[in-house]
Amino acid sequence: MSQDRRTPTVVSEEDVQSYQEQGYYLGRGVLTADECDEIIARAEELHARKDVPGCFSAEDVEDADGDPLRAYPRMMHPHRVDDRCLHYLTHPSVVAILRDLLRDGVTALQSMFYWKPPGARGQAYHQDDFYLQTKPDACIAAWTALERIDAENGALRVFPGSHAEDILEMLPTNTAFSFTSEAVTPPSQYANTLVEMDKGDVLFFDGRLIHGSLPNVSDARFRRAYICHYIPESADSYNHGYDPAIPLR
């Protein structure tokens, strides 16, 4: 964890301490309903234009073969093709909380939009820094609920305190339940907790926190989320496959 170089401005000292101990902080009502609706509208436009490079093809969407995630694949880095998605990656309310939790400046590395339509599989347990490889301190996720999210439509499960672990081995997992094919086995001392969220809530979590998501078992509810990753300004190294990085100070 970084030295305490900054005094928190929007998050209480208790909440910063809890983030350091538990590995996550749930910010309630960080974005307004209108802001969430704007992100969804931008995603709908990109999806209609099939205009997020490398994410999905017209054939996938038109010939989904019963897989809701082929019709509605996650979109990677929409901020690179859409100015409003860039705005939300760098949203002042989100960045202020990130700075408080990290007690450092931040650099944005990634945005993703998940539709998670009815019937979609979840994502198996993992640690984000398996991918982002941030050192010496972890990256941080800002995971925004764009609508009500609960056990039925595929909420996140996190293992409080598990960010104390190093990066764990990823092993093959059951792809009937997860759209990713590898997972970590959470050490037995950690219990998981379901994170229910309302529209506009943002879950901030440490890149070493073990987490994953449930399948969406609802009949008709999507579970749309805007998911962004950042690294501390003081990071010595990270996976440069995520460049170009956007320093936010």
What are the residues binding ligand AKG (CB under 6 A)? 114, 116, 123, 128, 211-213, 225, 227
Give whichever of 114 and 204 is closer to ligand AKG, judged by the CB atom: 114
Q: How far is the CB of 168 from ligand AKG (least distance, A)?
A: 14
Q: Closest approach of Cβ 104 to ligand AKG, in Å?
A: 21
Q: How far is the CB of 86 from ligand AKG (least distance, A)?
A: 19
Shorter beta-carbon distance to ligand AKG: residue 118 or 212: 212
Which CB atom, from 8 or from 152, has the smaller least distance to ligand AKG?
152
Q: Smallest distance, Å, CB 227 to ligand AKG?
A: 5
- Considering Cα of 240, then 162, then 215, then 175, what sign does the dihedral take? positive
The residue whose Cβ lies closest to ligand AKG is 213
Compute the least distance from the CB of residue 198 to ligand AKG, in Å.
16
Cis check: omega of the bond before 136, within 30 degrees of 0: yes
What single string gives the DSSP state of each residue in 34-79? Answer: HHHHHHHHHHHHHHHHT-STTT--HHHHHT-TT-HHHHS--EE-GG
Distances (CA, A) of 120 to 88, 99, 187, 224, 235: 25, 34, 27, 12, 35
User: Would you say 103 or 229 has its CB closer to ligand AKG?
Assistant: 229
Alpha-carbon torsion, ordered 235, 156, 121, 242, to 10 deg: -10
Alpha carbon 71 to chain centroid distance? 21
Nearer to ligand AKG, 10 or 194 (CB): 194
